[in-house]
Amino acid sequence: MKAFNEENTDKNNSDNAYNIKNFLEILPVATLLNKRNPELYQSGRCIRCNYTIETWTHIWICSQADTSIIQIINTAFESLKAKLDEKDFRIYYNYHARLLHILNEKSKVVFNGRIFHEAIKGI
């Protein structure tokens, strides 16, 4: 998780609140909204796929999401590679495939999650 910024602005407060809620897995997912207000949120199912119970881990891997976590990771790798290429820095090992393998391993910290969930949380 990022360090808190000392400036007290609405943007910083909003960012800090998001980071804390993300870390604690209390972002407003369907299961949490259903617990808080069952009359309004009658199901804990994902509104995108309408199949799986929506949890903090599901929002990052839902098959109906506009952008998958793997796409985000690949974009980050491409950006990193472009920056390294600008500096004429070469890595002769297939780090992309190895890091994808590591990020997809089962997490020991996030229940029913993967290492990339830990990265999202900033652990």
Alpha-carbon distance of 53 to 44, in angstroms, equals 5
What is the per-residue pLDDT across 54-79, written as a single tens digit (0 to 9) for each?
988 898 889 998 888 888 888 988 89
The whole-chain average pLDDT of the chain stands at 85
Do the beta carbons of residue 60 and residue 69 sit within 8 Å?
Answer: yes
Mean pLDDT calculated for residue range 27-34: 89
CA distances to 3, 71, 112, 113 from 61, in Å: 27, 11, 12, 10
The residue type of 78 is: E
What pLDDT score does 123 carry?
Answer: 67
Residue 88 DSSP class: T
Question: Bridge-partner residues for 106, per DSSP?
Answer: 114
